[in-house]
Structure 1
Amino acid sequence: MGRLVSIIRGAGVALLFLVIALCLILTILPPFLDRVYYDGPVSRHYDGARFFNPDGAIEPPAPPGTSRQTFIARWLLGADDRPPWPEAIAVKPSRPAPFAAPRGMSATWVGHATVLVQAAGLNILTDPIWSDYASPFPPLGPKRVAQPGIRFDDLPKIDLVLLSHNHYDHMDLPTLKRLWARDRPKIVTSLGNDTILKANGIPATALDWGQSVSGAALNGLAPQAVIQCGSYEHCPDYQVHVTRNHHWSSRWGTDRNRALWSSFVIETRAGNIFFAGDTGAGDMGWTGQARRFGPIRLALIPIGAFRFWKGQMQSDAHIGPVQAVEVFRRLGASTAIPIHWGTFRLSYEGWNTPPRMLELALRCAGIERKRFAPLRIGQSLPVPVVSPVPVGRKQCDERAIRALE
C-alpha cells in the first residue's frame, strides 16, 4: 500500500513539473521565436513593427460556428471531414531548352507556385521548392503528392528568382541554397525576406511595394546602361517591379507579418510577366497597379488552398477559381497559368477541385479555356502572342460552380 502511495505521489509530482514546464514553454517560446526581419520608416502598410494589408486585415480561418482552436485541433487530428487526396500523382518530368528564342516565351509548371518562365534569353523561377515537405520540421507538415515537373539537375541556368513571401511552401531554403550554389541567380523579394536569406548565406535584393530594379543594376551595371544582347543568352535587359497583393507572412507564428509579401511584374523584350505570389482578393486594387506597366503576356495566378470548410469559395488569404478569373479579367492579361494547387495539401478542397471549378468559372465569364487552362505538372506552354482579354467585370452565378461538388 505504501509503495502504491509513493508511486501515485511521484506521478503527481512529475505531472506538476510537466504542467509547469509546459506553462514555461508557452510563456518563453513565442517571444523567443519572434524575429525582427525589417526596421524602417512607417508607411501605408508598415506600422514600425509589422506589415499589414491597407485594404483590410486577414483573419485566421475558422468555419462558422466553431472556434479557431477547435478548427486547428480537428485539422491536426484529421477529423475535419476533408475530401481524400491521392497518395501520389504520376509526373513525367520535362527537360527545358537552355533558353527561349529572342522574342519567345515559354513556361513550365514545376508544381505548386514554382514555374520556370523563359523569355528572351532570361530564365526565371518563381517561389522555387524542390523539397518533399513544406514545413520547418519535416517529415511533419504538408508532403508532396507530385514530384517536381523538372528534375533539379535538368534545370537550365537560372538568372532570376522571384520570392513572394516567407511561408514554407514559397520560401524553401534548401532549394534556394542549392540554386545559389549552382547558378548564383539574382533573387528579388519584398522587404524583410532578405534578412532570412542572408542569414542562410543567400544574397537577395528586397524592395517595397511600388519599387523597381533593372537587370542591369542587379548585374552590377549602371541602372540605365544600354545593354547589347546579340544572342539574348541570359540577357540582363529586364525590369522587376514589386507590386501589392493581399496576404500575410510568418515562419514561426509569433513573427507574423515581420516581413512583407508581394506580387511582381517583369518587363522583358518578349513581353510582361505577372506573378501573383500567394494572395487573397482584398480590394482587388492591386491588379490595376500591375496593369499600369503595360500589356501582360503571361500571368501566373493561384487557384488553390482557398477552402477551409465545405462550400467556401475563397478565403481572406487565398483566392479561389472564381476570384482568379476576376483577377485575370482585371489584369487584362493575354494568357494565364493556374498555380498553387495539386502539389501540397494545404486546405479542405479535393485534389482536382480547383481546376474543375476554374473551367466552369471561365465558361461562366465567357473566356476561352485555352486562355487560362491548367497544365500538368511538368508540362510546358509556348506562350502565344494574342490580344489581351478585355478588362472588365462579369458576375457569375456561383450556384452553378458550387454544384460541382
Structure 2
Amino acid sequence: MAANRYYNGPVSDHFDGTRFFNPGGVEPNGFRDLLRWQFNGQKATWPTTPDPRATVTRPDDSVTGQDLRVTMVGHASMLIQVAGLNILTDPVWSERASPVSFAGPRRVSPPGIRLEDLPRIDVVLVSHNHYDHLDQPTIARLEADHRPTFVTPLGNDVFIRKVAPDARIALMDWGGALDVAAGVSIHCEPAHHWSARGVGDRRKALWAAFVVATPAGRIYHIGDTGFHDGINYRAAAKAYGSFRLAILPIGAYEPRWFMKGQHQNPDEAIQGMLLANAAFVVGHHFATIQLTDEAMNAPERALAEALARHDVDPARVRPLHAGEVFDVPPERNPA
C-alpha cells in the first residue's frame, strides 16, 4: 500500500498502518458504483433560489449558566453556545463544497450567520476532511479573526496548517479527551464514515464524532455517520449515560444502496437518538447543499414519519434551517 502522507502512527483497532477503517464496518463504495449512482437519473431537482425558511441572524456574545443554544449556519455548520464558550462545528462559509470555486455542489441558501457577525470563537470542531466539513477558506478566516483551538481527528491537521500554519490544533484519536475550559472537556468518539480530499488519499485521515461535556450537560455531535447497526450509539450511551443534546445528520442518504454504509437516514437518526439516551436532537445535513438524490424537503418528511413510528415527541427533535436558533430545554430523562 502507498504510504500515508498525513499521519504516521502505531497500528490500532481502526488503523492498519496506512489507512483508517471502521472496525466491523463497511468500506465506502468504489468508482464503478459511483458512476452507476451518478448516471441513475434519479436525482431530484432542488430549487436554485434560497430556502424560504432560511434567515440570517446575529448571535449573542455568549450564554452562561445552564443555558445551551444552537444556531444553524447551514449543512453541518452550527454555533454551539454553552458555559461561556462559543464552539463552531464543521464550519463552511464558502459558496461551494468543492476543491474549486467555479464547480461542485453549491449552497442554495446563504449562511445563517455572517462571518463578520460571529461572536468570539473559542473552539472549532472539524469532524473529517470532506469538503462539506473542512473548508480551508473558512478556516483561514476563522484563524485570522478569532485564533480558536481547532479540534480534529488524526491527519486532518495537514489541511488546516496549509491555510493556518500557526493555528492551535488539538489532534485527537478515538477515545481521546481534551480539557478546553473549567468544567468543559471534548471527547473524540467513533463514527462510521470515511475520508478523502483528493485522488489516492481515501481513508488516510481519521473521521470522528465528538462529545462536549459541560456543566450544562453533555452534547453529542456527529458530522457524518452510517448507522452501523447502532454500535456507536450504544457505546456512547455506555460511556456517558445520557446526553442533553445530540446533533445528528438526517440528510444526504439516497440512494440507500450507495449511501447506507456512510450516511444514516432520518429513521436511523431517531433510532440513534433513543439508543444514545439523548433528551433532544438537532437535525442537520439537509436543505443547504445537494449532495445526494433525495428532494430538498424529503428529510423533514421522513423525519416526521420516523418520529411517529418510534413514538417520539416532535418537540424533542429540531431540524434546523439556516439562521434558526434552538434554546435547548433542560435535560430530562428521555425514558
TM category, shorter: over 0.9
Corresponding residue to 1:203 among 168, 177, 187: 168
1:302 maps onto 2:255 in alignment: no
Trace 1:1-400 onto structure 2 (pairs within 5 A).
Answer: 36-60=5-29, 67-68=32-33, 70-71=35-36, 74=39, 80-89=41-50, 90=52, 91-200=54-163, 201=165, 202-216=167-181, 227=182, 237-291=183-237, 292-308=239-255, 315-390=260-335
Give the secondary structure class of the aligned counterpart of 1:110.
strand
Distance 1:137 1:164 in 2: 21
| 1:144 Cα deviation from its structure 2 partner | 0.4
Gaps of 5+ in 1: 1-30, 217-226, 228-236, 391-405
- Cα offsets for 1:31-50 (capped at 9, x unmatched): 8xx86110000000000000
Give the secondary structure class of the aligned counterpart of 2:229.
coil
- Cα offsets for 1:133-176 (capped at 9, x unmatched): 00002221100001111111111111111110000000001001
Give the secondary structure class of the aligned counterpart of 2:109.
coil
| 1:314 Cα deviation from its structure 2 partner | 5.6
| 1:68 Cα deviation from its structure 2 partner | 2.2
Gaps of 5+ in 2: none
1:395 aligns with none
Distance 1:253 1:308 in 2: 23
| 1:208 Cα deviation from its structure 2 partner | 0.6
| 1:109 Cα deviation from its structure 2 partner | 1.1
Task: Verify the 8 A CA contact 1:61 1:315 in the aligned structure 2.
Answer: no
| 1:188 Cα deviation from its structure 2 partner | 0.7
Give the secondary structure class of the aligned counterpart of 2:305.
helix
Bigger Cα Rg: 1
1:4 aligns with none
Distance 1:318 1:326 in 2: 14
Give the secondary structure class of the aligned counterpart of 1:324.
helix
- Cα offsets for 1:210-266 (capped at 9, x unmatched): 1101115xxxxxxxxxx4xxxxxxxxx410000001000000031000000000000
Give percent identity, aligned residues only: 40
Shift in alpha-carbon separation, 1:159–1:69, aligned structure 2, 3 A: closer
Task: Verify the 8 A CA contact 1:197 1:203 in the aligned structure 2.
Answer: no
Give the secondary structure class of the aligned counterpart of 2:138.
helix
Distance 2:285 2:323 in 1: 14
Task: Verify the 8 A CA contact 2:4 2:19 in the aligned structure 1.
Answer: no
TM-score by length of 1: 0.78
What is the RMSD of the two structures over their aligned residues, measured on CA atoms? 1.9
Distance 1:133 1:97 in 2: 27
Distance 2:304 2:154 in 1: 36
Task: Verify the 8 A CA contact 1:272 1:294 in the aligned structure 2.
Answer: no
Q: Which has the higher strand share?
A: 2
Q: Which has the higher helix share?
A: 1
Give the secondary structure class of the aligned counterpart of 1:82.
coil
Give the secondary structure class of the aligned counterpart of 1:214.
strand
Distance 2:10 2:44 in 1: 45
| 1:81 Cα deviation from its structure 2 partner | 3.0
Shift in alpha-carbon separation, 1:346–1:61, aligned structure 2, 3 A: farther
TM-score by length of 2: 0.93
* Alignment coverage as a number of residue pairs: 329
- Cα offsets for 1:45-98 (capped at 9, x unmatched): 000000001022323179xxxx52642652xxxx62311101022432011110
| 1:289 Cα deviation from its structure 2 partner | 3.0
Distance 2:310 2:64 in 1: 33
Give the secondary structure class of the aligned counterpart of 1:116.
strand
Which amino acid in the other structure matches residue 317 of structure 2?
Answer: F
| 1:199 Cα deviation from its structure 2 partner | 2.9
